[in-house]
């Protein structure tokens, strides 16, 4: 594709999104709420593509090829999102709510971690790669979407796998008759187990509130994010970066490194990939501002969930039994992916409003009016614009082998994200940044999953490479 | 994926169409097989793999002697240290 054509398509994408924003706002001012989601999604897409920002790479490349650049970039993004988030939280405008904390987050993260290694990208990474024209990544997105929509409504024989205690506890939650809480494994897992787990933050564990300055900045940011993040990077530095730095930079007449050398090496690791660090910086700031903007609009329009806006506009199909739709107020990926498939299945006759995930919490609004879907579509667009402007856009057709990896990985990520109530973004990036300990548990699981996933992928590539060496007589 | 010997001491690895971590894993394994001074040409179209391969070479001391990008296709030459 010539440079003129690439520029044309990049401007076309921006123009179409701008036209959607302007025309819908002219029709009804409430659409600005959806447009805010859309433009933040666009920025996320640009940042992710620019920095090749992939959470899968952060964990996987450490084990696979000993490269720490993405782990560093993600910690920078988390710290900056945490800083902006602490300010938003202390001013009482945060849209964030901690998730239940228990061992389930580790198990969910583990399954998700294996999946993202197989798929070659995490949930958000697969989205920006789709924007680069990678159809393998699109298969991953489709696999995550379909798997989630099926998984959250699957009942039948899976009901026999539910512990009696979960079933009994689920029945006490007072859910309306439209939600068949004892028919569905995920329903009973959520209402009978997850909802019974403690909800906390580092601030509340220390006796402060999330909305106080001391709770937000000392509890959630310093103790919950900065200190553990810096310590983790020290581990990464000692295992994966220190040896190379000292080999290159330690004077030959110096026997052992000093503290000054160690600090210089640590800083060199952090500043090694400027591109990733810049993307992490922009991503962290954007994610924090996103919360601020959405909460501001909620105050302006006098509502707490986009379901109320959709009703006012006249689109009340697919709202949950509480009149809500999925409206996190910050960056999220997998729930809206499940929603459009849930909406489609429901339209085709499979009732998807009788389960907790859709029917009680998130709804299945028409994707054309779903705020979070606007964010995801624009994320594809932002990544495509950045790839087009940097001559990195290329349509890539899947092969049988790559499609198999994509579908398997996507399915595992879909299951992991529903068990963990989110993906690498919602269950890890956002939660860790906002001082929710369950985010660290999900991350711990992801590290374990990535380690096992790399072992399995390595076994496969070893075999393929041995065949090639034999054919080349090397 | 295709790995082949072009001439004496020169090899080519074609990993077009693959996403992470395959291009960097295949590159790592190919470079491990080469002797010092031999060169490897890698062809890939997954941008993020390039970032990892560059850092990987920096860590091992292998030298990237040439980098080309055309229409989303990367062709890099690496000399084994």
- Spell out the domains of chain B, with CATH numbers in brackets: 2-79 (3.30.110.40)
Are the Cβ atoms of B24 and A65 closer than 8 angstroms? yes
Q: How far is residue A38's CA from residue A381's CA, in Å, rounded to a whole number? A: 10
Whether B38 contacts B64, CB under 8 Å:
no
Name the stretches of chain B with pLDDT < 50: none
Q: How far is residue A279's CA from residue A271's CA, in Å, rounded to a whole number? A: 12
- A52, A73, A74, A126, best to mutate vs chain B, most B CBs in 10 Å: A52
Are the Cβ atoms of B56 and A67 closer than 8 angstroms? yes
Residue B41 region by backbone torsions, left for phi larger than 0, else alpha for psi between -120 and 50, else beta: beta
| Closest chain A C-alpha to B26 CA, distance in angstroms | 7
Helix A400-419 vs helix A135-151: angle between axes, to the nearest 10 degrees? 40
- Structure confidence at residue A474 (pLDDT): 75
Residues 188..247 of A with a Cβ closer than 8 Å to B: which?
244
Question: Residue ranges of the domains in chain A?
Answer: 3-473
Share above pLDDT 70 across residues of chain B, in percent, rounded to a whole number: 100
Chain A residues close to B2, C-beta within 8 Å: 468
Give the ipTM of the model, two decimals please.
0.90
| Closest chain A C-alpha to B65 CA, distance in angstroms | 19
Chain A residues close to B45, C-beta within 8 Å: 394, 396
Q: Which residue of A has its CA nearest to B30?
A: A465
- Identify which of B20, B25, B71 has the shortest CB distance to residue A394: B71
**Would you give the DSSP letter of residue B63?**
E
- Structure confidence at residue A64 (pLDDT): 83
Q: Helix, strand, or coil here: A252?
A: coil
| Closest chain B C-alpha to A396 CA, distance in angstroms | 6
Residues 6..45 of B with a Cβ closer than 8 Å to A: which?
11, 17-22, 24-26, 28-30, 33, 45
pLDDT tens profile B29-50? 999 999 999 999 999 998 888 9
Interface membership of A408 toward B (CB under 8 Å): no
Chain B residues close to A69, C-beta within 8 Å: 51-52, 55
C-alpha angle A421-A427-A431 in degrees, rounded to nearest 5: 125
- Identify which of A67, A399, A464 has the shortest CB distance to residue B52: A67
Backbone angles phi, psi at A170, to 5 degrees: -60, -35
Q: How far is residue A430's CA from residue A133's CA, in Å, rounded to a whole number? A: 27
| Closest chain B C-alpha to A434 CA, distance in angstroms | 28
The reply to whether the predicted model has a pTM over 0.90 is: yes
pLDDT digit string (tens) for chain A, length 474 residues: 788 999 999 999 999 999 999 999 999 999 999 999 999 999 999 999 998 888 888 888 888 888 888 888 888 889 988 998 899 899 888 889 999 999 999 999 999 999 999 999 999 999 999 999 999 999 999 999 999 999 999 999 999 999 999 999 999 999 999 999 999 999 999 999 999 999 999 999 999 999 999 999 999 999 999 999 999 999 999 999 998 899 889 988 888 999 999 999 999 988 876 777 788 788 888 988 999 899 999 999 999 999 999 999 999 899 999 999 999 998 999 999 999 999 999 999 999 999 999 999 999 999 999 999 999 999 999 999 999 999 888 888 999 999 999 999 999 999 999 999 999 999 999 999 999 999 999 999 999 999 999 999 999 999 999 998 888 777
- Structure confidence at residue A62 (pLDDT): 86
- A408, A461, A467, best to mutate vs chain B, most B CBs in 10 Å: A461
**Would you give the DSSP letter of residue B78?**
E
- Structure confidence at residue A419 (pLDDT): 98
Closest to A306 in 3D by CA, of A38, A44, A88:
A38
In b/e form, how buried is each residue of A267-294, taking b as 16+ CB within 10 angstroms? ebbbebbeebbebbbbbbbbbbbbbbbb
| Closest chain B C-alpha to A197 CA, distance in angstroms | 36
Active site residues of B: 20
Residues 6..65 of A with a Cβ closer than 8 Å to B: which?
52, 54, 56-57, 60-61, 64-65
Q: Helix, strand, or coil here: B71?
A: coil
Chain A residues close to B24, C-beta within 8 Å: 61, 64-65, 67
- Structure confidence at residue A422 (pLDDT): 94
Alpha helices in A302-370 (DSSP H): 306-313, 334-347
Q: How far is residue B68's CA from residue A382's CA, in Å, rounded to a whole number? A: 25
- Structure confidence at residue B47 (pLDDT): 84
Residues in chain A: 474
């Amino acid at each position: 594709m010539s440079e003129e054509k690439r520029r044309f398509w990049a401007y076309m994408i921006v123009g179409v999104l701008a036209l959607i924003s302007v025309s819908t706002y002219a029709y009804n001012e409430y659409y600005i709420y959806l447009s805010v989601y859309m433009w933040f999604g666009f920025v996320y897409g640009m940042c992710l593509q620019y920095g090749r920002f992939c959470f899968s790479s952060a964990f996987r490349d450490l084990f696979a090829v000993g490269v720490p650049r993405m782990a560093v970039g993600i910690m920078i993004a988390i710290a900056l999102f945490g800083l902006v988030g602490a300010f938003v939280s202390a001013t009482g405008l945060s849209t964030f709510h901690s998730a239940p904390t228990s061992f389930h987050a580790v198990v969910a993260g583990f399954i998700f971690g294996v999946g993202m290694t197989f798929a070659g990208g995490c949930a958000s990474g697969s989205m920006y790669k789709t924007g680069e024209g990678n159809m393998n990544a699109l298969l991953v997105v489709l696999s995550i979407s379909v798997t989630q929509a099926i998984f959250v409504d699957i009942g039948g024989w899976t009901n026999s796998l539910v512990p009696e205690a979960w079933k009994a506890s689920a029945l006490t939650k007072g859910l309306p008759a439209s939600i068949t809480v004892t028919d569905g494994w995920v329903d009973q897992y959520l209402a009978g187990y997850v909802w019974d787990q403690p909800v906390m933050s580092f601030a509340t564990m220390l006796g402060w509130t999330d909305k106080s300055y001391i709770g937000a900045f000392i509890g959630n940011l310093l103790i919950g994010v900065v200190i553990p993040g810096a310590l983790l990077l020290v581990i990464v530095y000692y295992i994966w970066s220190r040896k190379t730095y000292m080999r290159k930079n330690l004077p030959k007449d110096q026997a052992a490194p000093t503290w000054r050398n160690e600090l210089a090496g640590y800083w060199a690791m952090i500043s090694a990939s400027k591109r990733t660090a810049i993307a992490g910086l922009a991503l962290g700031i954007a994610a924090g501002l996103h919360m601020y903007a959405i909460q501001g609009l909620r105050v302006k329009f006098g509502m707490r969930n986009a379901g109320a806006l959709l009703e006012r506009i006249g689109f009340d199909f697919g709202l949950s039994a509480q009149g809500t739709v999925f409206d996190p107020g910050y960056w999220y990926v997998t729930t809206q992916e499940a929603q459009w498939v849930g909406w489609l299945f429901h339209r085709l006759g499979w009732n998807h409003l009788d389960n907790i995930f859709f029917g009680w919490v998130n709804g299945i609004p028409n994707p054309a009016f779903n705020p979070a879907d606007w964010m995801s579509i624009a994320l594809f667009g932002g990544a495509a614009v950045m790839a087009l402007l940097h001559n990195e856009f290329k349509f890539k057709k899947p092969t049988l082998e790559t499609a198999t990896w994509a579908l398997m990985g996507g399915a595992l990520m879909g299951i992991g994200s529903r068990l963990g109530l989110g993906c690498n973004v919602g269950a890890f990036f956002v939660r860790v940044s906002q001082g929710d300990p369950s985010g660290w548990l999900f991350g711990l699981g992801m590290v374990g999953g990535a380690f096992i996933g790399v072992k399995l992928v390595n076994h496969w590539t070893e075999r393929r490479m041995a065949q090639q060496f034999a054919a080349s007589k090397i | 994926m295709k790995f082949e010997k072009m001439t004496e001491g020169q090899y080519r690895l074609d990993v077009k169409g693959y996403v992470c971590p395959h291009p960097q894993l295949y590159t790592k394994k190919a470079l491990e097989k080469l002797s010092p001074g031999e060169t490897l040409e890698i062809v890939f179209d997954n941008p993020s793999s390039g970032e990892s391969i560059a850092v990987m070479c920096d860590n091992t001391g292998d030298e990237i002697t040439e980098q080309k990008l055309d229409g989303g296709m990367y062709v890099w030459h690496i000399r084994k240290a």
